[in-house]
Amino acid sequence: METALRPYAIHREEGEKLSFFGSLTWMKATGEQTGGVLALIEHIVPPGAGSPWHVHHNEDESFYVIEGEILFIVGEEQQRLTAGPGTYVFGPRDIPHGFRNKSSTPARMLLEVTPAGFDQFVLALAEPAPASGFAPAGPPDMEKLMAEAAKANIEILGTLPE
């Protein structure tokens, strides 16, 4: 039996506050809420935090920087783009990419994936965020990361190129 989609709204910082690779994270919309069309995730990325160098094979990613600056590295040529407030970055599937906050202040961004699915990867690896704010960004549990990445059809290629 299919469930009909319903209108849905969530305000800034509402919902469970998670820690995902050292970033504060909120699920704004999951695949379950959108019928699988998309997932929307909000991150506050502390200085020095970011993603590994990786490739999504199931979804495209769109990033919208709200506050701060994020360095995006995209493609085999490792094109670099520093994105500030109001910058939109589109990352098509099957193209290697990653990002890092190279500034000295936290950056806030929205990440939309189409279709949904990546939200389940985030939820599988995220932990409740500490009440004090950012969790220390230690090395991830690589065995768990690689297992969840394989389930999500994501290739982890290594650390973000410098």
- The pLDDT tens digits of the residues spanning 78-120 come to 999 999 999 999 999 999 999 999 999 999 999 999 999 999 9
Domain of residue 24: give its range. Answer: 18-130+139-157
d(CA 4, CA 26): 24
Q: Measuring CA to CA, which residue among 113, 42, 23, 108 is closest to residue 70?
A: 108
Q: Are 118 and 125 in contact (CB under 8 A)?
A: no
Could you tell me if residue 2 is inside a domain?
no
In a domain, 27, yes or no: yes
Query: What tokens does 23 get?
Result: 């970033």
Residue 35 in domain:
yes
What is this structure's pTM? 0.90
Q: Is the residue at 110 inside a domain?
A: yes
- Number of domains observed in the structure of the chain: 1
- Is 7 within the bounds of a domain? no
Domain for residue 1, yes or no? Answer: no
Task: Report d(CA 113, CA 41) in Å as an integer.
Answer: 9
Task: For residue range 42-60, list pLDDT tens digits in order.
Answer: 999 999 999 999 999 999 9
The CATH number linked to 96 is 2.60.120.10
